[in-house]
Structure 1
Amino acid sequence: MSEVRIAAEPRTEFGKGAARRARRAGKVPAVLYGHGTQPRHINLPGHDLMLALKTPNVLLRVDGIEGGDNLALPKSVQRDPIKGFLEHVDLLVVKKGEKVAVEIPVTTTGEVAPGGVLNQELVQVEVQAEATHIPEGVEVDVEGLEAGAHVTAGDLKLPTGTELVTDAETIILTVAAERVSEEAPAEAEAAEPAAETEAPAESAE
């Protein structure tokens, strides 16, 4: 599992105006909470945070604030709906050895059998894993699966120490029969365009 060290600074100003000023300075307002501690309001470097969040369930080692290093998982990420930049992040403090519930992506490998069409019904599943050993995702091998086949959450092969939280009967993907479009039968012979006949031009005398 990826672990990224990121520097934080205490946040002393609050409100929309303060948040805008922080973002103009390249920082992202955040809240660090959990384990019975009072929520700590901090600013994080925007570029470093954006790169870190490209990894699902990245483990952040937040330093530079009271209490020394803090291991945390991003629990809520707010982005601007139009421009996509980070607006605010909630971070949950975790401890080594502690189990946490997270969602991990489901990806597929291979190709289904000819005549089948793969339909992925669920792109994420919820699992419980040790905070410092959260899998980045789980793969499903669909090689050779024929029409009518399906895979449930219970069929997923999770890493050792990771437990499924999503209902085991939940459908992850199905393979449907490929639709063959029925075209209207072609006419035996296409009508040939009628030869254009030109009326004889009257001779001008």
Structure 2
Amino acid sequence: MDIVLQATRRETGARSTLSKLRNQGQLPAVIYGYNVEVTPVALDYKETAKAVQKYGYTSVFKLDIEGKQVNAVLHEVQRDPIKGLVKHVDFLSINMAEELEVDVPVNIVGNSVGVSEGGVLTQPIRELTIKVKPTDIPESIEIDVSDLAMGDSLSIADVRSRINFNILNADEEVLVTITPPVVVDDETAGQGDDGNQDIKATEAPESEN
């Protein structure tokens, strides 16, 4: 199914020009890559957000740039650090017959034995870089942690043979670890290094006036 997004060429200019586009409900973007010159464009913000939410960040989109259609993937997304709204996106034009490198989210599944015993699951890596044809890009890659006990971990080397994609991450990179919970000694809880009671944050020092 083709996911078509309408795009119009835009002029590059001052930051105020981009702000004006955003205030009009437009999303500034740029497309570059296979058979395409670097082209600044603008898309409808709501329609683009709706398509990405429905089909995912790893989908192949067909950008219709004033009648010319280009197959592209999201390459970079810039967000407002405070509001979290998308400010700008980069689209990479692709050749549908060739493999490309994409970052795919890791989805942890299963109930870990170690977590059931009180352990804490940490996930240092939340995306895997794979090389794949555009038509085969997965929405996510599932990693089953059901067999992980307290103190266990999963590295790329442990899962490489289970995943039907060419993973470009190094073997030693750790995907998941199950660590024991932190035990607090009741006798030293709330005390500083010298054994004295810490001053509560709510207690203010006496005024010198």
Interval of TM-score (by shorter of Structure 1 and Structure 2):
0.7 to 0.9
The alpha carbon displacement at 1:101 in A equals 0.9
Q: Whose Rg is larger?
A: 1
CA distance in structure 2 between the aligned counterparts of 1:121 and 1:78, rounded to whole angstroms: 22
Residues 1:140 and 2:143 aligned together: yes
The alpha carbon displacement at 1:63 in A equals 0.8
TM-score (norm 1): 0.78
The answer (yes or no) to whether the contact 2:36–2:93 under 8 Å persists in 1 is no
The alpha carbon displacement at 1:61 in A equals 0.8
CA distance in structure 1 between the aligned counterparts of 2:95 and 2:131, rounded to whole angstroms: 14
Higher helix share: 2
Give the 5 Å matches for 1:22-41: 22-41=21-40
CA distance in structure 1 between the aligned counterparts of 2:49 and 2:101, rounded to whole angstroms: 23
The alpha carbon displacement at 1:116 in A equals 3.3
* Partner residue of 1:172 out of 151, 175, 181: 175
- Structure 2: 5+ residue runs without aligned partners? 188-209
Q: Measured at CA, do residues 65 and 132 of structure 1 come closer, stay the same or move farther in structure 2, by a change above 3 Å?
A: farther
Alignment partner, residue 65 of structure 1: 66
TM-score (norm 2): 0.77
* Partner residue of 1:158 out of 157, 160, 163: 163
CA distance in structure 2 between the aligned counterparts of 1:13 and 1:138, rounded to whole angstroms: 38
CA distance in structure 2 between the aligned counterparts of 1:38 and 1:169, rounded to whole angstroms: 38
The answer (yes or no) to whether the contact 1:62–1:72 under 8 Å persists in 2 is yes
- Structure 1: 5+ residue runs without aligned partners? 185-205
SS across alignment from 2:48: helix
Identity among equivalent positions (%) equals 27
* Partner residue of 1:118 out of 117, 121, 129: 121
SS across alignment from 1:69: strand
Q: Please, what is the CA RMSD of the aligned residues?
A: 2.1
CA distance in structure 1 between the aligned counterparts of 2:184 and 2:110, rounded to whole angstroms: 26
The alpha carbon displacement at 1:182 in A equals 4.7
